[in-house]
Structure formats: structure tokens, C-alpha cells
Amino acid sequence: MKYCYRHNLGFILSWCLSRASLLRQTPPMIAIGLRKCFSLKFKFLYFSLQNKVLHQSKAFFGYTTKVNMAKLISGKDISADVKSAIKTKIDEVRQTVPNFTPGLAIVQVGDRQDSNVYIGQKLKSATEVGITAKHVKLGTDISESALLTIVNQLNEDPNVHGIIVQLPLDCNTAIDSDLVTNAIAREKDVDGLGVVNAGRLARGNLDCFVPCTPRGCLELIQSPRGAGLASLAGVSAVVVGRSKIVGSPMAELLTWHHATVTLCHSRTKDLAQVCRQADLLVVAIGRAQYVKSDWIKPGAIVIDCGINSLPDSSRASGYRLVGDVDFSEAKSVAGAITPVPGGVGPMTVAMLLRNTMEAALAERDKSLAGQTWKLSGIPPVPKVPVPSDIDISRSATLKRVDQLAGEIGVLPSELEQYGHHKAKISLKILDRLSSAPDGKLTFVTGITPTPLGEGKSTTTLGLVQAFTEIGVNSCACIRQPSQGPTFGVKGGAAGGGYSQVIPMDEFNLHLTGDIHAVTAANNLMASAIDTRLFHESTQSDEALYRRLAPKDKPFTEVQQRRLQKLGIDKKMPSELTAEEARAFSRLDIDPATITWQRVIDTSDRFLRDITIGQGPNEKSMTRRCKFDISVASEIMAVLALSTSLADLKQRLGRMVFGLSKSGAALTADDLGVTGALCVLLKDCLKPNLMQTLAGGPCLVHCGPFANIAHGNSSVVADQVAMKLVGPSGFAVTESGFGSDMGFEKGMHIKCRSSGLQPHSVVLVATVRALKYHGGGPKILGGGAPLPDEYRRESVDLVVKGCENLAQHVAIVRSFNLPVVVAVNKFGTDTPAELEAVVNAAKACGAADAVICNHWAEGGRGADALARALMALPGGSQLGYLYSLDDGLEAKMTAIAKRVYGADGVQLTDSARQQLDRLTELGYANLPVCMAKTNFSLSDNPSLAGRPTGFTVCVSDLRLSAGAGFVFAVLGSISLMPGLPTRPCFYDVDLDCETGEVLGLM
């Protein structure tokens, strides 16, 4: 350490050693002080000795010249080092995360000049280090509620990592500043003034944001360029001032760094005497030059946090800045001291920047999604016999969905809660996690099922629960159930037994209303079609155009797209010629070509063929049409395949509902309805978060049927799940029905359009289904009893039925993907039957085959399946069975031969005409979605096993231009299910006292 003296200190010390009476110190004490002078442990003794020796030497020699003993602790220099380190760290992180940019928001109410100066310094310093800072300046008349709204908006902004509210508030209204600062989210409270961060600091939990000034003071004390006091253990520290911004948190910070701390204030008795005992004195009392030199222990470290202005006519400003310590006196007594200005002030700004960077790094760590989740939750202990699904669901320990979201790395700003146990996840999460590596994507599919189902959803959830219990990040992605099957034949679709999504009643009933929104959007478009038919038939060209495009109003965005399609580049309705106006306003819809139907989410057979337009005001414009089930709407398929709102809007706009009389394809854009559809669906694009019985995440999103649509949950749900689980985790997504149905469409349509790359495939098989495919009697749904063949051992039937299993294994392998067969164990299965399935699966090319009992045992029952997937090497590249450049017939033929095992396809005359028309219109390069029975590999539901020597009949071709595929109907496929004699709704009821739903399966 360098100190400025007028005479050589060594000479003075040597002279004083020979005259012990002058020093009033024993020679051994002086020797110790000199020997340990550069040791932190003896720093205060060293400072004290130097001051005593020098002062007594001055008295002895009669010196009168003032000597400055204190080391000046430069906050400017140390803060520059801190800011340089922050900039270096930000640049370093950007090497791996290019879009890493810490964001700071400074909220100011009013226009105080001193606040403007402070904020200007913060903004300038933030820019220097690479932090994006924005100044939110508000008027003096802002209300408390409006200010809280702004703070909450900043809390939800993923680009803002730190928020400070500049105090004091300069306003004309009554605003509780504590309420405002406490409204800042804990993880963004970089000022450390919120109750959560303050409470953590008070309890000694330093995993918090420490207020900037105390943190800056600690840096000045410990930095080698500051006081150099690296260890505070045993140091006697006095803090003068008890404000929540500086004094109190400073005392707590020093305490948890093992100093012995006394917290004082203006009413402390014998304050000067208390201060004189301090090896470390921190002053933040807000009084100019309050602490004098005789308050300071010789050699003590003095940190002056005050900043006050005193009149000074010699200054151009008319004032000068001073601290709470009388610096001119104190510097001759203290061992080290901070000046004012240039001491603590610059450090406060530097610590604000450091806290902001650390907040951004903490979010970055969540974004990397590589750490293992710490999931809470207590799954129910399996009972024998297994209770009903609803009873198991109710016995589970449910946690709040916001807690689950936090455990898996979803930020509060990315979560939109619907009650306590379900929520939507904003797609902003994909922007935040764009640099994070993807997890492994596993598709779950099955062999050809019986009407009772073989448990794909149950296996999906059991597998995810198994991963959870092993400690591997995993998220299920399943479709949302339709109300039609829930109240009709099938019942609920939340999994079953001890492998479920919970709460299963909320899962099966409404959820977050996505299907209702699809219904509303679909029917809005249906209404728009018939309304346009009506108005075009009842109005003149001039009247129609005048109403569609008022002359003083510019064309809307969707109308401009209609004009572009027609090759018209004009902005105002008055600019169009009569011919252009007619082309714009008349769609000339050919009613016979309309393919767009109305939908309802109820199984209602009497809506399969209806007549509309029979009201007295519709001028006899009747038309035959029908209702489909809501999940059969093209809008559901569009929703499931969209990757963003912009993509959704584009897909909706290009949906084709029919042809003009001249043969041109007519779209939602032509109708002008695209924007309205997008508005109805904007929230539906966000996946729904629920939980499994093991307390793990499950994303429930979209519900296109697998026999009449592409049968997979949404692309965005898979994308979100893959980002959240991290590179070592598994996103497990389910495809509807067998691998010839949802899986094939998942590969050719979902993965192809999105670029998703599967890691592995789980193929679910059951002894019951294999017995049926081996020649067993027909299995009926609707609660009919199983024939005896399915209740007693019959290995021969199982072995014969494994031909069906072999074909499904071959289907998966044809896409160049590894497959693990999950033999879903039922209570009637025997060891010999199960062993036969495992052996057959391995013999026909499965990477592995395991017996699963997750229905009865939960995650533990799928442990072997989880470990089999973890053992797969990965790295397989998805291959397709046809090129998009192939014609539509060639694509259908490839699927028929390589997936179904057919000899080829046969098109009816009408289907061939439709094929030719679609090719003419330019849609031949789309993939094909084959709509067929799910009960057979063929198009004939009665052909079980692995049929051969057949062709599939294509009876109809339809266009789903928005979804991006051509819809091929094989045989007779109904898009509207009917209710059985005894529907499931007989069992559903409500307990009016408890509010509990009864009777769901």
C-alpha cells in the first residue's frame, strides 16, 4: 500500500522504536504490527500503528504540516473493472447464445432533475457493457393501478430481465411505493428492494438480489483495488443508518459475511463512541458531514454512502457534493476511505448492471434446459384391485400448474393460467429457447387396434411417469379429446389406471375451450360462404362492390391479398375500373363444389345430411350440406400444423372451400374472413399444460382424428416439449390408432412440414389384439363381454396374430427409425403369451420388446420401456416413402403398398376426376392424408391380421390446402360419429354438494 508522507516512514518508525515511552506501546506489539502489516488479518492493527506512530512523531518533532494517511478507495476505478468484466461475460455468452442480450427497464414517475441525472448515468453505462436499457418515463398524474399494470407488463416481457422503479416517485397522486416495488417479479427485482429478495437476505439466503448500494460497498471493501479486506470474519463493523435501501441490507450482508455488526441510527446513544469501536464503518445516514474524525478509529475502513449538496459560491453550479462523513477530517485518521463523489455512487450503477446480467444469465440457464428437473408431487400408491380412473385421479396429490411450470423452466410471463391446474404456454417460449438444444422425440403408435383400444395414451403417460421416477426429464404430448367420443362410445381419453393426466375431468371436459373456438371459427367461415352466395345472387355489381368496398375507405389487408391474386395493384376502391370491381367483388361460387361443412363437437347422426336455407327470408336458396364433428374440421388440422401466428394466418387464408363457376379455387382470403378466423384462434395455438400422476408435465393440444385427419397433437407442443426437456430428455408424442394411420401421417405430414426429427418409436401391442388378428372372435365395444378366447391362454392365436405386429414393425422401420415394442399387459395375459409377443417382436426387427404394466403400477410398470429407449443409440435420419414431386396417385400407391401391404390403389371415376382437377389447380405436390378404417391394415374393417392380395379403393379426393395435404377417402368414412344405444353420458353426473364430476371413464 502506498501512503504519501513528507518524511520517510521507515526513519520515523526506527526512531520511535528506540523511544518506547513516546509510543506508549510495548516493542513486541510494534514488532508484530510491522511483521504482519501486509496480512489482511492484521490490517487494522497496521493502520492503527501507523497513525499512532506518525501523530506522536509529529508531536515530538513539532511538525505542523497536515499528513493524509488514508488510502482513497476509487469507486470510479473499481466500477470500471466491474463493467469491463460484465461486458466480457456478455460477449463470451454470445459466442454460444448469439441472441443473449440482458434487458433493463427503468421506470420513472415524474421529472425530478436528480432522477434524470441518475437514470442518464444508468442508461449510458448499460449501453457501454452491452445491456439493452429502456427508460419508461411516466407523467406525474399516473394512478397507482396504471403504474402497477406497467410493472406487470414488464414482468411478462421476456426481453426484460431487470426492472427498477426510480425513487422517490414524483407524482400528484397517492401511490404506495412499497406496493409498486413489491409488484416487481422476484427474478427481475435487480434493485433487491422487493419483500422476497429482502426476506431472503434477512434470513441469510444469499441466493437473492442484494440491493445495489450495499453490494457495491461490499465490493469496495473486499476488492484488492479497494480496502482489500477479502475476509470479514470477526471484523467489528458499524453501520450508521437503517434505511431499507442501504443501511439495513448492508448490516445483513456484513453479518452473513461473518462480521460482528452493530446497526446504528441518529437516535443511538453515544453514537460517536460506538463508531470509534469500528474496524469497518459504513455511513448512510443522509446528513452532510455528520461523522467527524474523532468518531473514527485510527486505521479504520470508512465507506461513505451519503451524497448531499452544500452551498458553494465558488462553484459554477452554486453547490458542492459532500458525503455523510467529514472527508477533510476523516482522511487523516482512517486507513482507507471512499471519496464523495467518485466512491460508492459509481459502484451502485455497476452493481445494478451486474444484477441485471446475472438475472439474464439465470434465465439463460433455464433456456439451456439441460439441468434435471426437480419435480414435486406424490403419485398415488397403486392399489389392488385397481380403482376406477376417476377415483385414482381424485386420490392424486395435485400441485398448482404455476408450480409445475416453474419446475420445468417455464417463466411466469410465458404462462396463462386457466384455474389452478391447467394453463396455456405462450409461444414466446420458443423464441427464448431458440438456442437451446432439442430433446429426443419419441412417437408412440400401435398395432391395428380392437374397438376397445390397446392403451396408447396410457402407455404414453406411463412412459413419461417412468422417466420422471428415473430422474430423466420427460414431457407427454397428447391430443385433446372430443366431446363426441367422451359422451358417446369411447369415453374419456386421459389414459387410465395409474397412468393418467390429471385432473381427468377437466382434461375431458372443455379444457381451455380450444375445440369450441375451432367450432366457432369453422362455422363463421361456413356462414360467410352461404352469405356471399346470397348477396351475390340478390345484388347488382355496383351495389355489391359499393357495400364490400366503401369508396372513402382503403382496402383492408385481406382485400389487398384478393386484389393481388387478381393482378390489381391499387389501394383505394375509387381507383378500380368497373371490370376490376366486378372481378374483385364477385366470387361466382359454384354451390356444387362447396366442400366446407359446418361442425359441432357432439356425435349427432341426424346432422350427417341436412338442408339449409329454408327460412322465409332466404328467397328459396336452399342447399344440401352436412355437419362434421368439430375435430374433423380442416381448421383443427391447420391449428395442429401451424408453427406461429403468422403461419396460422397464412394457412387459414389459403384454405379452399370450393370452386368458382370458371373452375378457380376459392379461399378464405377471397371471402375476406381470414383475419376474423385468426382472431378467434389466436389463443388456441398455445399448448395446454397439465400434469401426470407422477407430477410431470403433459402438453395437451389439438385433436385431429387419425382416421379422417392426420391424427397427431400439435407441432408446437412437440417443439416446446423438446426444448424444455433438454438434450438428455424425452418428448413423448402420441399418434392416433395404428402405425398405418396416425404414425404414417405423422411422418409424411407433421414431420415433413415442420422438420421434426424423431429419435425413436414405441409400438404398443396387446395379447388381446393379437389374438383377434390371429383368428379370434369379433370384439364388440359398448360394454359387451369378451369372448372366452380372450380370457384363457392361447399361445397359438397370439403367434398367428403377430403377423399384424410384424407388418407394423416393418412400417416403422421403413421410415428408418428404431422401434421398441411395448407389450401392454392385461390381467388375463399369461407369461407364455407375453413371452411369445416379445420373441416375435424381436424376431421381426424390433430394436427391443418389453412387457409393461403401467396401468396397474404407474411409472414403475414402464421402467423397462424407458430404459430400452435410453439404450437406443439415436442418430437415425427420418426417411420418407415418397417424394413430394411424385404425383398424387404415385403417393397413394406408395402408402398402399409399403404401409398397408396392398397390391395398389384403384380410383373411382369421380375420384380420378378430382385428382385431375387438383393436379390442374397445382396441388399435386402436397402429401396425401389417407382416410380409412382404423380396424384393419386394409380399407376393409373386417380383414384382420396381415391381409394380402387386395387393392384399396379411393372413393373421394378432397383438398386441405391450409393444412397442406390432399385428403383421400378410402371406402366409406363418416366424418360425424353417431351415438350408440347406451352412450357414455348415462354414467356421467354431477355431485351438486361437492361439485365433483361422476361417471367419467
Residue 563's Cα: distance from chain center in Å?
A: 39
Neighbours of 11 (CB within 10 A): 11
- Kindly state whether residue 17 falls inside one of the protein's structural domains: no
Cell numbers placing 681: 384462434
| 289 and 419 together in one domain | no
Q: Which residues pair with 477 in a beta bridge?
A: 699, 733
Q: Characterize the bridge pairing of strands 697-700 and 71-72.
A: unpaired
CA–CA separation, 693 vs 691, rounded Å?
7
DSSP 552-613: TSPPPHHHHHHHHHHT---SSGGGS-HHHHHHHH---B-GGG----EEESS--GGGSSEEE-
Tell me which H or E stretch contains 26.
none
- The CATH number linked to 597 is 3.30.1510.10
Q: Which residues pair with 501 in a beta bridge?
A: 692
- The CATH number linked to 920 is 3.10.410.10
CA distance readout (Å), 824 to 443, 763, 771, 864: 16, 10, 14, 12
pLDDT of amino acid 162: 97
List, in sequence order, the alpha helices (H) in 75-211: 75-94, 113-129, 144-155, 177-183, 195-202
Residue 38's Cα: distance from chain center in Å?
A: 53
| 638 and 712 together in one domain | no
Decide which of 815, 838, 871 is a domain's last residue: 871
Cell numbers placing 106: 427503468
Report which of 365, 340, 347, 221 is spatially closest to residue 286, judged by C-alpha positions: 340
pLDDT tens string 823-853: 999 999 999 999 999 999 999 999 999 999 9
Read off the pLDDT band of 866 (50, 70, 90). Answer: very high
For the cut 80, the answer to whether the pLDDT of residue 33 exceeds it is no
pLDDT tens string 914-947: 999 999 999 999 999 999 999 999 999 999 999 9
- Kindly state whether residue 450 falls inside one of the protein's structural domains: yes
For the cut 90, the answer to whether the pLDDT of residue 759 exceeds it is yes
The stretch 238-247 carries a mean pLDDT of 95
- Kindly state whether residue 371 falls inside one of the protein's structural domains: no
| 844 and 903 together in one domain | no
- The CATH number linked to 708 is 3.40.50.300
| 174 and 315 together in one domain | yes
The answer to whether the peptide bond before residue 385 is cis (omega within 30 degrees of 0) is yes
Read off the pLDDT band of 42 (50, 70, 90). Answer: very low
pLDDT of amino acid 803: 97
Q: Which residues 6+ apart lie within 8 Å of 497 measured at CB?
A: 386, 389, 392, 458, 854, 855, 856, 858
- Kindly state whether residue 16 falls inside one of the protein's structural domains: no
As a whole number of Å, the CA-based R_g of the chain is 38
Q: Which residues pair with 133 in a beta bridge?
A: 104
Place of cell 407441432: 715
pLDDT of amino acid 16: 39
Place of cell 403367434: 799
For the cut 70, the answer to whether the pLDDT of residue 23 exceeds it is no
| 839 and 691 together in one domain | yes
CB 415 within 8 A of CB 423: yes
- Kindly state whether residue 314 falls inside one of the protein's structural domains: yes
The DSSP output letter for 412 is G
The stretch 17-41 carries a mean pLDDT of 36
pLDDT tens string 603-625: 888 988 999 999 888 888 899 99
Considering the chain, what percentage of its residues have pLDDT values greater than 90?
A: 76
Decide which of 663, 681, 699 is a domain's last residue: 681
CA–CA separation, 841 vs 764, rounded Å?
11
CA–CA separation, 461 vs 732, rounded Å?
8
| 165 and 285 together in one domain | yes
CA–CA separation, 321 vs 285, rounded Å?
15
Lowest-pLDDT range of 18-22, 498-502, 542-546, 901-905: 18-22
- Kindly state whether residue 485 falls inside one of the protein's structural domains: yes
pLDDT of amino acid 366: 67
Neighbours of 211 (CB within 10 A): 30
| 530 and 585 together in one domain | yes
The total number of structural domains that make up the chain:
4
Strands (E) in 102-256, as ranges, are 103-109, 132-138, 162-165, 236-240
CB 517 within 8 A of CB 630: no
| 582 and 466 together in one domain | no
CA–CA separation, 13 vs 735, rounded Å?
87
CA–CA separation, 287 vs 508, rounded Å?
66
| 583 and 644 together in one domain | yes
Report which of 432, 437, 427, 431 is spatially closest to residue 369, judged by C-alpha positions: 437
For the cut 60, the answer to whether the pLDDT of residue 207 exceeds it is yes
Question: Residue 891 carries which side chain, given as an amino acid letter?
Answer: K
pLDDT of amino acid 1001: 62
Lowest-pLDDT range of 101-105, 266-270, 810-814, 896-900: 266-270
| 570 and 687 together in one domain | no
Read off the pLDDT band of 760 (50, 70, 90). Answer: very high
CB 501 within 8 A of CB 698: yes
- The CATH number linked to 136 is 3.40.50.720
| 189 and 334 together in one domain | yes
Read off the pLDDT band of 997 (50, 70, 90). Answer: confident
pLDDT tens string 449-492: 998 889 999 999 999 999 999 999 999 999 998 876 777 666 66
- Kindly state whether residue 69 falls inside one of the protein's structural domains: no
The stretch 373-398 carries a mean pLDDT of 87
The DSSP output letter for 748 is I
pLDDT of amino acid 39: 40
Q: Characterize the bridge pairing of strands 495-496 and 760-765.
A: unpaired
Considering the chain, what percentage of its residues have pLDDT values greater than 70?
A: 91
For the cut 50, the answer to whether the pLDDT of residue 36 exceeds it is no
Long-range contacts at 198-201 (CB < 8 A, ≥ 24 apart): 198/244, 198/249, 201/249, 201/252, 201/253, 201/256
pLDDT of amino acid 491: 60
Decide which of 871, 897, 913 is a domain's last residue: 871
Range of the domain at 765: 389-512+683-778+785-871
CA distance readout (Å), 217 to 348, 351, 352, 614, 672: 8, 10, 13, 82, 63
The stretch 578-595 carries a mean pLDDT of 96
Cell numbers placing 20: 518506547
The stretch 741-770 carries a mean pLDDT of 97
pLDDT tens string 679-732: 999 999 999 999 999 999 999 999 998 877 899 999 999 999 999 999 999 999
The DSSP output letter for 132 is E
| 329 and 430 together in one domain | no
Q: Return phi, psi of residue 629, to 5°.
A: -70, 145
Compute the mean pLDDT over every residue in the chain, rounded to the nearest whole number.
89
Sheet strands side by side (includes 132-138): 132-138, 103-109, 162-165
CB 375 within 8 A of CB 473: no
Cell numbers placing 958: 378432397
Q: Return phi, psi of residue 71, to 5°.
A: -80, 130
Catalytic residue (choose from 83, 89, 122, 188):
122
- Kindly state whether residue 44 falls inside one of the protein's structural domains: no
Report which of 219, 107, 88, 105 is spatially closest to residue 161, judged by C-alpha positions: 105
Q: Classify the C-alpha dihedral 837-842-845-851 as positive or negative.
A: positive
For the cut 90, the answer to whether the pLDDT of residue 298 exceeds it is yes
Q: Return phi, psi of residue 665, to 5°.
A: -70, 135
For 236-256, b/e burial (b = at least 16 CB within 10 A) is bbbbbbbbebbbbbbbbbbbb
pLDDT of amino acid 7: 33
pLDDT of amino acid 708: 76
Residue 842 annotated as catalytic:
no
Cell numbers placing 943: 380383414
